[in-house]
């Protein structure tokens, strides 16, 4: 046990050292090109150094650090009545996609053998999610307004597409092996499933926005309004699967997910070689790749995903409370979110979607993730879905302020509301985790489980009596390496 703790602490110090090194490299990338042509090439890696350092600090201090604080302290939410957690049920899913069954699952079974048994499944899930966030930030740096792929603009560098393809496939792979790692280490829990699907719901926007940079919004690209409705088709397909489980108790994994992830990873890599101009060439007669892209997403959703979900629900004959109203109740909040956001798009005085498409997509995707997570909690705990999400009430006020022109700057209002939605979503996630976590369970191996709790700043006390003194950062790293929810 002491050796393992020492390893955790050394890894923490290594992370700090890497963060410091990347800070220096970022500084040199800015300063040295003015003095020495020899290392000008370092400037091409400036964004990578900066983003890597940001990800390190986010994981160690902001996001997981906040999780560690809330989880290492005994929760009292059920005593205070602020958030009482329902009992989560076990995971039940069906994956019949041939690509997944015959190709990806054998590949994931092979990959998971190389993962150490002390690696927490939720850390794998979060790392995969951060790869998608990194893709989003990387493309936002080079193509914030989705104009880089258009003629007459500076295109995204080829190495960015290579990185995007690798990161996307790594995210897809980690999303596939996290559950296998949980079963392999006997640490599979319903809360782990909630963490996985909750991040998946948020990942939709990062995935769609990154793909959009391939086609862009130029003359041969996809309009921002068209992409807005395509985004909603993707979001609808995602929530449809969880609505299906809400009524049947079984999650039927959609076929389109595996196919799209593998295809898009390859498209990123191909784009790095042939350039974005290739996608502007006609596929057949006057049919462009953008038209094929749009057609495939819409057709897959309404001719495969929707009919299969309805068929599975009707076949199981397990409507919630045997009522059509209760069965379709989970769609009310997403539908209202769609109405509110569309009103903002259509009646915006400054045409906000044309001015700030990326931020608007991020706001919609995050708000949708928050609504979906509440449905996931209900379907996992077998409780009734609430008709209305509280997040829609302030959003209605924001939309009213925007479309009436009361506020001086619609762009500033969008930025403020997006930040509020992101913070509210993170707060909701932390609250759910706290409500379901009475004590922190740390597994050193498959035979030994020890309970820990924080006793003051920088002191981690084993409930058996042994006291270990360590820094707050060590506790954070100790948590992310070994805790299974």
Query: pLDDT of 213-262, one tens digit each?
Result: 998 887 778 889 999 999 999 999 899 888 888 888 777 777 778 888 99
Whole-angstrom distance, CA of residue 225 vs CA of residue 244: 29
**Residue positions counted in the chain:** 485
Average pLDDT over residues 8-36: 47
Average pLDDT over residues 180-188: 85
End-to-end CA distance of the chain: 20
Whole-angstrom distance, CA of residue 143 vs CA of residue 213: 7
Q: What is the pTM of this model?
A: 0.73
DSSP SS3 for 222: coil
Q: Determine contact, residues 442/452, Cβ cutoff 8 Å.
A: yes
* The pLDDT of residue 185: 86
DSSP string, 76-97: -HHHHTS-PPPPPPPP-EE---
As separate numbers, helices (DSSP H) first and strands (DSSP E) second, the chain gives 20, 8
Confidence band, pLDDT 50/70/90 cuts, at residue 152: confident
Q: How many Cα atoms are found within 13 Å in the side-chain-facing hemisphere of 429?
A: 25
Domains of the chain listed by start with CATH number:
75-438 (1.20.120.1760)
Q: Does the pLDDT of residue 360 top 50, yes or no?
A: yes
Confidence band, pLDDT 50/70/90 cuts, at residue 50: very low
Q: Determine contact, residues 418/364, Cβ cutoff 8 Å.
A: no
Q: Does the pLDDT of residue 95 top 80, yes or no?
A: no
* Structure-block tokens of residue 389: 């999400």
Q: Determine contact, residues 269/169, Cβ cutoff 8 Å.
A: no
Average pLDDT over residues 121-150: 92
Handedness of CA 31, 33, 39, 42 (dihedral sign): positive
Burial 142-157 (b: 16+ CB within 10 A, else e): ebebbbbbbeeeebbe
Handedness of CA 220, 226, 228, 231 (dihedral sign): negative
Helix (H) or strand (E) holding 287: strand 287-288
Whole-angstrom distance, CA of residue 91 vs CA of residue 95: 13
* The pLDDT of residue 343: 97
Whole-angstrom distance, CA of residue 389 vs CA of residue 439: 29
Highest mean pLDDT among 93-97, 136-140, 288-292: 136-140
């Amino acid at each position: 046990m002491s050796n393992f703790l020492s390893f955790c602490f050394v890894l923490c110090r290594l992370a700090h050292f890497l963060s410091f090194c990347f800070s220096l490299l970022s500084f040199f990338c800015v300063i040295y090109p003015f003095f020495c042509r020899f290392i000008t090439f370092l400037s091409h890696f400036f964004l990578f150094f900066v983003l890597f350092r940001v990800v390190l600090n986010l994981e160690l201090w902001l996001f997981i650090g906040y999780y560690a604080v809330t989880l290492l302290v005994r929760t009292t939410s059920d005593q205070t009545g602020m958030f009482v957690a329902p009992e989560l049920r076990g995971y039940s899913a069906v994956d019949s996609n041939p690509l997944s069954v015959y190709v990806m699952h054998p590949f994931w079974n092979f990959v998971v053998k190389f993962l150490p048994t002390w690696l927490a499944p939720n850390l794998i899930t979060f790392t995969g999610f951060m790869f998608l966030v990194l893709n989003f930030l990387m493309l936002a740096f080079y193509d914030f307004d989705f104009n880089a792929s258009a003629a007459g603009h500076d295109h995204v560098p080829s190495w960015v597409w290579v990185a995007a393809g690798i990161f996307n496939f790594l995210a897809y792979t980690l999303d596939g092996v996290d559950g296998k790692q949980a079963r392999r280490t006997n640490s599979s829990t319903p809360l782990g499933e909630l963490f996985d699907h909750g991040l998946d719901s948020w990942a939709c926007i990062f995935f769609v926005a990154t793909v959009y940079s391939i086609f862009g919004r130029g003359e041969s690209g996809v309009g921002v309004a068209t992409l807005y409705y395509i985004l909603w088709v993707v979001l609808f397909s995602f929530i449809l699967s969880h609505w299906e489980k809400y009524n049947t108790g079984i999650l039927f994994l959609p076929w389109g997910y595996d196919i799209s992830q593998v295809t898009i990873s390859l498209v990123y890599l191909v784009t790095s070689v042939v350039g974005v101009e290739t996608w502007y060439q006609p596929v057949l007669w006057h049919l462009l790749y953008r038209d094929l892209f749009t057609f495939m997403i819409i057709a897959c959703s309404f001719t495969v995903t929707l009919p299969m979900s309805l068929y599975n629900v009707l076949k199981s004959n397990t409507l919630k409370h045997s009522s059509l109203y209760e069965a379709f109740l989970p769609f009310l909040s997403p539908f209202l979110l769609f109405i509110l956001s569309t009103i903002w798009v259509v009646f915006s005085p400054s045409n906000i979607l044309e001015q700030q498409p990326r931020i608007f997509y991020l706001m919609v995707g995050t708000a949708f993730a928050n609504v979906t997570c509440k449905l996931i909690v209900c379907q996992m705990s077998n409780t009734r879905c609430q008709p209305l999400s509280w997040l829609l009430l302030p959003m209605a006020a924001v939309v009213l302020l925007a479309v009436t022109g009361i506020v001086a700057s619609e762009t500033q209002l969008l930025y403020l509301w997006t930040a509020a939605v992101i913070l509210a979503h993170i707060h909701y996630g932390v609250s759910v985790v706290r409500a379901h976590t009475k004590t922190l369970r740390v597994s050193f191996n498959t035979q030994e489980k020890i309970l820990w709790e924080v006793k003051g700043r920088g002191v981690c006390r084993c409930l058996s009596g042994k006291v270990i003194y360590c820094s707050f950062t060590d506790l954070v790293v100790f948590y992310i390496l070994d805790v299974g929810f």
